[in-house]
Chains A and B, each alone.
Chain A
Amino acid sequence: MAVSIRTEGEAAGLAPLSNRSTSGASWDQPIILRLVSIVLFAGIWEVAGRIPVSFAFPTFSDTIVAFFGLLADGSLATAYLSTLQPLVLGVVLSAFLGVGLGTICGLWRTGEWLMIPVFIVLQAAPVAAFIPMVTFVYGIGMTAKTLAVMILALPVIVLNTYKAVRNVNESLLVMCRSFLGTRWQTVAKIILPDASPVIFAGLRLGVAAGFVGVVLAELLITPTGIGDLITFHRSRADYAEMYATIASIIALSTLTLVFLQWVEVRVFRPESRGA
Chain B
Amino acid sequence: MGATALRNGPSPVPAPIDSIVEVRGISKTYGNVEALRGIDLDFPRGKLTSLLGPSGCGKTTLLKIIAGLTRADGGTVAINGKRVSAPGPERAFVFQDFALMPWATVTRNVAFGLELRGTNKAEREETAHRYIAEVGLAGFEDKYPHELSGGMRQRVGLARALSVDADVLLLDEPFSAVDEQNRRKFQEDLIRLRTNQNKTFIFVTHSIEEAVYISDRIVLLSPRPGRVSQIIEPEIDRSGDPERIHRDRHYLDTVEEIWQGLKQYVE
A16 with B149: CB separation less than 8 A:
no
Interface string of B123-142 (1 = CB under 8 A from A): 00000000000001101100
Which residue of B68, B146, B152 contacts A275 across the interface (Cβ within 8 Å)?
A: B146
The answer to whether A11 touches B139 (Cβ under 8 A) is: no
Counting CB contacts under 8 A, is A33 at the interface?
A: no
Query: Given B99, B136, B179, which contacts A171 in the complex, CB threshold below 8 Å?
Result: B99
In contact, B93 and A178 (Cβ under 8 angstroms): yes
Q: Are B146 and A179 in contact (CB under 8 A)?
A: no
**Are A178 and B103 in contact, CB atoms less than 8 angstroms apart?**
no
Tell me if A28 counts as interface (CB < 8 A to partner B). Answer: no
Q: Which of B25-33, B41-49, B111-119, B228-236 contacts A (4 or more CB under 8 A)?
A: B111-119
A contact residues around B140 at 8 Å (CB): 16-17
Question: Does B146 lie within 8 Å of A12, measured CB to CB?
Answer: no
Return the chain A residue nearest B117 by Cβ.
A180
A271, B117: Cβ atoms under 8 Å? no
With A178-B87, A180-B116, A193-B101 known as contacts, the answer to whether A271 contacts B144 (CB < 8 A) is yes
List, in ascending order, chain A residues with CB within 8 A of B149's CB. Answer: 6, 8, 11-12
Cα A172 to Cα B41 with chains together (Å): 29
Q: Mark B51-91, 1 if CB is under 8 A from A, else 0.
A: 00000000000000001110000000000000000011101
B144 lies within 8 A of A179 (CB): no
C-alpha spacing A12/B160, complex, angstroms: 20
A11 and B152 contacting across the interface, CB-CB below 8 Å: yes
**Chain A residues with CB below 8 A from B103, complex form:** 193-194, 196, 268-271
Interface bits B97-110 vs A (CB < 8 Å: 1, else 0): 10101111000000
How far is A11 from B143 in the complex, measured between Cα atoms in Å? 11
How far in angstroms is the closest Cβ of chain B from A96? 22
Interchain CB contact under 8 A, A3 and B102: yes
Q: Is the interface of B mostly helix, strand, loop or mixed?
A: loop
Chain A residue contacts of B101, Cβ below 8 A: 172, 190, 193-194
Instruction: Given A175-B99, A181-B116, answer yes or no on A14-B92 (Cβ-Cβ < 8 Å).
Output: no
Q: Interface residue count for A (Cβ, 8 Å)?
A: 33
Contacts A14-B136, A269-B103 given; indicate if A178 touches B146 (C-beta within 8 A). Answer: no
Residues of A within 8 A of B182 (CB): 8, 12
Please report the C-alpha to C-alpha distance between residue A15 and residue B140 in the assembled complex, in whole angstroms.
8
* Contact between B102 and A171, CB atoms less than 8 A apart: no
Is the CB–CB distance between A179 and B112 below 8 Å?
A: yes
Question: Is there contact, CB below 8 Å, between A178 and B67?
Answer: yes
CA distance A275 to B151 in the complex (A): 21
**B147 at interface by CB-CB < 8 Å:** yes
> Does A4 sit at the interface, judged by CB under 8 A?
yes
Residues of A close to B152: CB separation below 8 A: 11-12
* Bound Cα distance from A248 to B160, whole angstroms: 51
Are B148 and A179 touching (Cβ within 8 A)?
no
Contact of A5 among B89, B136, B137, B146 (CB under 8 A): B146
B69's partner among A4, A177, A181 (CB-CB below 8 A) is A177
Residue A133, interface by CB 8 Å: no
Q: What's the least CB distance linking A127 to chain B, in Å?
A: 34
A205 at the interface (CB under 8 A from B): no
Provide the bound-state CA to CA distance between A171 and B117, in Å.
20
Q: Is the CB of B87 within 8 A of A180?
A: yes
Q: A175-B99, A179-B87, A190-B101 are in contact. Are A15 and B139 (CB under 8 A)?
A: yes
Contact: A174 with B102, CB < 8 Å? no
With contacts A11-B152, A180-B88, A190-B101 taken as known, whether A171 is within 8 angstroms of B144 at the C-beta atoms is no
Interface residue B164 (Cβ < 8 Å from any Cβ of A): yes
- Pick from B99, B145, B151: contact of A174, CB under 8 Å: B99
Query: Do B69 and A179 have beta carbons less than 8 Å apart?
Result: no
- Give residues of chain B (163-197) contacting chain A, Cβ–Cβ below 8 Å: 164, 179, 181-182
A172-B87 contact, Cβ under 8 Å, with A11-B149, A16-B140: no
Chain B residue with the shortest CB-CB distance to A190: B101
Q: Which residues of B contact A190 (CB under 8 A)?
A: 101
Q: A268 vs B144: C-alpha distance in the bound complex, in angstroms?
A: 14
Cross-chain pairs A/B with CB under 8 angstroms, 18 sampled = A6-B149, A8-B182, A14-B137, A16-B140, A17-B140, A17-B143, A176-B116, A177-B87, A178-B68, A178-B69, A178-B91, A179-B160, A180-B88, A189-B112, A189-B116, A196-B103, A268-B103, A275-B146
Q: What are the 9 closest A-B residue pairs judged by CB atoms, nearest first?
A: A16-B139, A175-B99, A271-B144, A11-B149, A179-B113, A178-B93, A171-B99, A181-B116, A3-B146
Given contact pairs A178-B68, A271-B146, a sample of 10 additional A-B residue pairs in the complex whose CB atoms are under 8 Å apart: A8-B150, A12-B181, A171-B95, A172-B99, A172-B101, A174-B69, A179-B87, A180-B88, A271-B102, A271-B104
Chain A residues with CB under 8 Å of chain B are 3-6, 8, 11-12, 14-17, 171-172, 174-182, 185, 189-190, 193-194, 196, 268-271, 275
